[in-house]
Amino acid sequence: MAEARSDHTATLLLDGRVLVTGGASSSAGSTVPLASAELYDPASGSWTTTGAMIEARRGHSATLLDDGRVLVAGGYGTSSHILASAELYDPGSGSWTATATMAQARSDHSATLLPDGQVLVAGGIDNAGQLASAELYDPSNGTWTTTEPMIDAREFHTATLLTDGLVLVAGGNGSRGTLASAELYDPSTGSWTASEGMIEARFRHTATRLPDGKVLVAGGTGRNAALASAELYDPGTGSWADTGNMAGGRAIFAAALLSDGTVLVAGGSRGGGLVLASAERYDPVSASWIAAGALIDGRLQHTATLLPDGRVLVAAGSRGFNPLASAELYDPGSAP
């Protein structure tokens, strides 16, 4: 890529290109948020720079809207200032415009596109600690409205849109430590209800909705170490069940649902400064994990984006304190 970065976002646009925004670079041992953005074109296999964001940010969210624009919100700005600002990227012009500011400055939150086209932003952290607050962005008028707060304040959690339109929030780091709790947001009522808690408390994990509607939660940091465990949430019963363990613990990694219904997990950290290059795939049919080769570069805080042709673009991240500019493609058809 044009610029090394970690803790960035990657968004698949309607035309098949991938927009990468912000993240962190390193200068004299310090973390520096980036305003730059670039586009990956799968047809040519090349990166091009596009308009820079209005504000440099890392730990932000990026959400593809129904009209093809991308909403970027929050994150850490310069001098570790947590942002409430939001902006919109127009792929047609390659430019950014400011939109309304969130009610709450936040970073390391979740952002979920709802069936009605609004975006639910929930949790995260501000200068006072973890947040329970949630708000909705309406693209039709460019405004934010607060909605009922979550039951538990949390950051580094996951938020997954279920097939029935509810949003499942699971895990994260809270004021009382690592969380196993889960809760459901109902857009029709604007309210949260507690769901059965996960089997293991975790944060910096991944959550992937499978073709059958269940949600696979994998890895993350537990109360003492990176986890190898994985579990399935069944929306029909509202319960969690153990599924096969990964080959080893990993946190701060990336996951992507592949075209064949399997889930690829790649990279991450096992703790103790160990950055992983290993990758594996979860098969929902056999409820088992299989090795999927290894990344060319071990990395964490990277992104994994499923491309229209079925390949997965893994981009940037860091190895230790060194942000990466490299990117690589995983081809499920040729992989072991």
What confidence tier does 13 reach under pLDDT thresholds 50, 70, 90? Answer: very high
Residue 27 pLDDT grade (very low, low, confident, very high; cuts 50, 70, 90): low
Quick check: 14 pLDDT over 60? yes
Amino acid at 31: T
Taking the C-alpha atoms of residue 80 and residue 101, their distance in angstroms, rounded to an integer, is 18
User: How far apart are the C-alpha atoms of 170 and 192, rounded to whole Å?
Assistant: 12
Confidence of residue 29 (pLDDT cuts 50, 70, 90): low
Write out pLDDT tens, residues 186-225: 999 999 999 999 999 999 999 999 999 999 999 999 988 9
| Measured CA distances, 94 to 56, 251, 307 (Å) | 17, 33, 20
Torsion angles phi and psi, residue 79, rounded to 5: 55, 30
Q: Which of 222, 188, 218 is nearest to 203 (CA)?
A: 222
Confirm if 257 and 238 have CB atoms less than 8 A apart. no
Tell me what the mean pLDDT of segment 181-186 comes to: 98
**Degrees (nearest 5) of the Cα angle 226, 228, 234?**
115
252-292 pLDDT tens trace: 999 999 999 999 999 999 987 899 999 999 999 999 999 99
pLDDT at 311: 97
Please write the tens of the pLDDT for every residue from 144-164: 999 999 999 999 999 999 999
Token pair 């997965």: residue: 312
Helix, strand, coil share (%) of the chain residues, nearest 5: 0, 50, 50
Per the listing, tokens 């994994």 go with: 304
Residue 171 corresponds to which tokens in the numbers above?
A: 């895990």
User: Is the pLDDT assigned to residue 28 strictly greater than 70?
Assistant: no
Find, among 153, 186, 185, the residue nearest to 172 by Cα: 153
List the helix and strand counts (H, then E) for the chain: 0, 37
pTM: predicted TM-score of the whole model, two decimal places: 0.97
Task: Kindly report, residue by residue over 224-243, the tens digit of the pLDDT.
Answer: 899 999 999 999 999 999 99
Lowest mean pLDDT among 64-73, 121-130, 268-277: 268-277
Buried residues in 220-230 as b, exposed as e (16+ CB within 10 A): bbbeeebbbbb
What size, in residues, is the chain?
A: 336
For residue 26, which amino acid is it? S
- Distance separating alpha carbons of residues 276 and 278, to the nearest angstrom: 6
Q: Which strands, in side-by-side order, build the sheet including 167-170?
A: 158-161, 167-170, 182-186, 191-195
Closest listed residue to residue 291, CA positions, set 251, 242, 330? 330
